[in-house]
Amino acid sequence: MKNIIINIFLIKFLLINISFAQKDYYNTDHNQPLLTEDAYSIEKYGMDFRLSLVDFEIKGKNYHNIITPEIKYSFIDNFHLGVGVNLEMHKESEWKFNGVKEIEIKTFYNFNRENLSLPAFAISAGYIYEINDNENVSYGNLKFIATRSFGKLRSHLNADLKSPIKDIKLNRDNLSFGLAFDYPFPFNSLLMMGEIYNYSKNRNQISLGLRKQLNNSLLIYTSVGTEFGPERKNDFIFKLGFSFMKGLIF
């Protein structure tokens, strides 16, 4: 719990005096709030602070929550770099704070803007350090992303490969796929979205989400979802988080 307070304090400290706007309620990043993301990076010289307070999962009587502070920054056209930490809480009989569960470093590059004939394409490559009770594991992560719009409706397709670096295997168990749709309400700075995410042959997730720009400084997002398939791990999933944007030029 102490670590959470320190982290929240640090984020709060970083955000002091930020009065800058963002208009990227329209730019859906991974887990904000859906797993599937669009093919566009944040703006060059934009710094995005994210605080996901709730990533809540219920399986029977087990409750699980992840808090994720994350910073992304872009200093090259169509590219950004992100660093995030997952802090885990778990409840069986009572809530227990398990500390840092994952550290993730991610790069993202958008290749092109969608045009009349081709979708927008992007690639994301990351390193994930997973902290476990027994052995810590390093993962490599590679994701291919495409975004195509049909009028105002946008679709996003993700193919995600995550494999232990020590034993890289390219098989179906390491691959997951996401398909999401979103629809904007620009006068309300609101984006509605839904996705179906396939973790493996027998484990899938379906979610509905919202992103809403509250004012020039603050964006809020939320989603609800459930898993289905014989190997499902969660009955219910709920996410809630905030995102702030600041410009930064060195």
Partner 1 sequence: MKTIILNLILFLISVSVSLGQKNDQQFYYPASHNWVFSEKYPDINRLLNSFDYGHAVLYEELYNNPENIKDVLETEIYNKLVNDILKNGPDMNMPEESIAPNYSKLAWNAMNMFDWAHKLHRQSYDILADDNIKDKEKEMKKVLDYYLSNEKLAFIPVAKSMDFMDKQYYSKVFREKFPKYNGLVWAYHYLQIALYDALMKEEKSDRENAIKEVYNNFWNYLKNPPESLPQEMPMTMEFSPEFSKKYPEYMIIFDNLHMMHDVISDILANESVKDKSKEIELAIQRVNDKNFMIAKPDEHNHNSDKNKKENKENNHEKHNH
Residues of this chain that bind partner 1 (CB under 8 A)? 19-21, 23-24, 26, 40-41, 43-46, 74, 77-78, 110-116, 118, 120-121, 123, 142, 144, 149, 151-152, 154, 161, 170-171, 184, 186-189, 213, 215-216, 245-249
Residue (48 or 57) nearer to partner 1, CB? 48
CA torsion sign for 43, 45, 46, 49 is positive
Instruction: Give least dist CB 28 to partner 1, A.
Output: 12
Closest approach, Cβ 10 to partner 1, in A, equals 21
Closest CA to 211 of 15, 11, 37, 13: 37
Helix (H) or strand (E) holding 15: helix 2-15
For the CB of residue 132, give the shortest distance to partner 1 in the complex, in Å.
Answer: 26
Q: d(Cα 171, Cα 36) in Å, to the nearest integer?
A: 20
Give the residue with the Cβ less far from partner 1, 34 or 66.
34
State the minimum distance, in angstroms, from the CB of residue 115 to partner 1.
5
Sign of the alpha-carbon dihedral angle for 54, 58, 64, 70:
negative
Which are the contacts of 29, defined by CB distance < 8 A and separation ≥ 6? 37, 38, 42, 48, 50, 72
Q: Which is nearer to partner 1, 67 or 219 (CB)?
A: 219
